[in-house]
Amino acid sequence: MSKTNGDTPTETRGKYARSEETRERILAAALEECAEVGIHKASMASIAARAEVAVGILNYHFGSRKKMLHELMSTQVQNFWSSMSLPRAVGWGYFETEAAMLKVYLEFLHVNPNYVQLAEEIRRHEPELYQQGAGIQLEYVVRRLKAGVDNGELPTMGGDEIRTRAYLILGAYTFLDRLVEDDNYPGDELVVTIVMNMLRNGLTSDSTDS
């Protein structure tokens, strides 16, 4: 019986696994390189060297530098949102949910310090992609505020006020990474307490009354 030249299913799965491992290694190297020198200065050669592969391997997997960096950004955004998902908790109100999300976000910043630098690079060099992500985050904040109003936990607010408050909340969260990196960072527990006190004081008063 003659031998076939095709790969067996096991060999195919092995090649696929190695291919995925190589892609992940390249993306990890790209993230480190972008965080260190910036997206606009990260070259295919430097990323390949950091990943310990030939430049041709990068081209094989991604086609171009632009496509590789776009996949890197998209992957990081997906990682962020998957990390920010919370289990459904019966009886959680607005402030309990917000405190839980803040704790998860701080933990994410500790584990993924390069994400913040990449987000800043995306804001400067890929503004459309940045705005897409920011828009999604804003709508989540708006949705949580509306839920708080609907269940009576927050005072009645109009659409404009809800959206304005959402921008302020999102802005505060955006700069928490600077605090986390500060030498005098007071710790997650105290930060969560302070932020939640600010939210309670700011959201439970009718600030639009003049």
pLDDT digits (tens, 9 = 90+) for 9-51: 444 445 444 688 999 999 999 988 988 888 878 899 999 999 9
| 31 & 95 share domain | no
| 91 or 192, higher pLDDT | 192
| 129 & 190 share domain | yes
With beta carbons less than 8 A apart as the criterion, state whether 105 and 192 touch: no
Residue 42 counted as domain residue: yes
**Is the pLDDT reported for residue 77 higher than 80?**
no
| 101 & 182 share domain | yes
Residue 2 counted as domain residue: no
| 54 & 138 share domain | no
Residue 208 counted as domain residue: no
Determine the structural domain holding residue 29 and report its residue range.
9-70
- Least confident range from 30-39, 124-133, 166-175: namely 124-133
| 167 & 91 share domain | yes
CATH number at 193 reads 1.10.357
Residue 133 counted as domain residue: yes
Nearest CA to 107 out of 166, 36, 189, 184 is that of: 189
| 122 or 45, higher pLDDT | 45
| 22 & 115 share domain | no
| 155 or 113, higher pLDDT | 155
Tally of structural domains, the chain? 2
| 88 & 177 share domain | yes
CATH number at 36 reads 1.10.10.60
Residue 78: its pLDDT value, please?
Answer: 75
